[in-house]
Amino acid sequence: MATILDDLFSLEGRTALVTGGAGAIGRVLARGLASAGARVAVHDFDEARLAEIRALFEADGREVVTLTGDLTDAAACKTVVDRAAEALGGLDILVNSQGTNRRKRIEAVTADDFDAIVDVNLRSVYFVAQAAHPHFKARGGGKIVNISSLSAKHAFNTISVYAATKAAVSQLTRAQAREWVGDNIQVNAVEPGFVKTEFTRPLWDDPYRDGWFRGFIPAGRLASPDELVGAVILLASRGSSYITGQSIVIDGGVLSGATWEAPAAP
């Protein structure tokens, strides 16, 4: 017997594409969408990482479509989206979770650094969503969840280009939501704070920095990737039918106003 929770949050019968879906966060989100009932396609640039995803889904007893492609190329964005929609029989949900960074102080950033980060973090998000739009219209609506970052709102050293792209993604989310509201497409963003992944290992693996995190984050720890799943399922489901153009910050309380205590120097 169906319950109100099933009606609001079940993704049974829905199809989803997760770009950057073999990364530490993307793979958790992809499995979370599948656990809620969605049929999932996972994109990544690395075939070896996609093989890991196939093994994880197989262990879960679920099927997955895997796709490779260079999303810094607008034509490739369309190809990946079209292939996902064809394999899944349509497209209802898009999660843009691709991302990259090169940690440098502003004075050390090169034009190549700038272009590499912008192309992955912003250009691909723009053109993947553009390619998904006609598929959503064909289904009578859709959901886009853009993975942004706390750095869209809070400045940190050595990530100036990354922060600028994530702020742009959060603003792009609002622009997409406004333009596509008439097509019944809800577009929202998730802005995670510090998440414990291999991507952030250079930060949390250092004892001094780990102590800094525990002093700076009110929750006293970094997030685990699975703590992002609930928000993404909400934004991908019927439960968010009147939520659009919003950014949900998942930061352990940082923006609430941290009382910071510096750790002892090493």
Q: What is the pLDDT of residue 174?
A: 98
What pTM value is reported for the model? 0.94
Task: Render pLDDT for 69-119 as a digit per residue (tens, 0 to 9).
Answer: 999 999 999 999 999 999 999 999 999 999 999 999 999 999 999 999 999
Residue 216's closest CA among 198, 194, 238, 183?
Answer: 194
Identify the three-state secondary structure at position 30. helix
The tokens of 172 are what? Answer: 């792009």
CA 208 to chain centre: 28
Cβ–Cβ under 8 Å, residues 48 and 124: no
CA 253 to chain centre: 20
Give me the active site residues, please.
Answer: 162
Average pLDDT, stretch 7-14?
96
Identify the three-state secondary structure at position 186. strand
The secondary structure element, H or E, covering residue 143 is: strand 142-147
Distance separating the N- and C-terminal Cα atoms of the chain: 59
Cα-Cα-Cα-Cα torsion 84, 144, 33, 7, nearest 10 degrees, comes to -120
Reported confidence tier of residue 258, pLDDT bands at 50, 70, 90: low
Task: Render pLDDT for 198-209 as a digit per residue (tens, 0 to 9).
Answer: 777 777 788 888
Q: What is the pLDDT of residue 199?
A: 72
Cβ–Cβ under 8 Å, residues 225 and 200: no
Q: What is the pLDDT of residue 205?
A: 82
What domains, with CATH codes, occur in the chain?
11-197+226-247 (3.40.50.720)
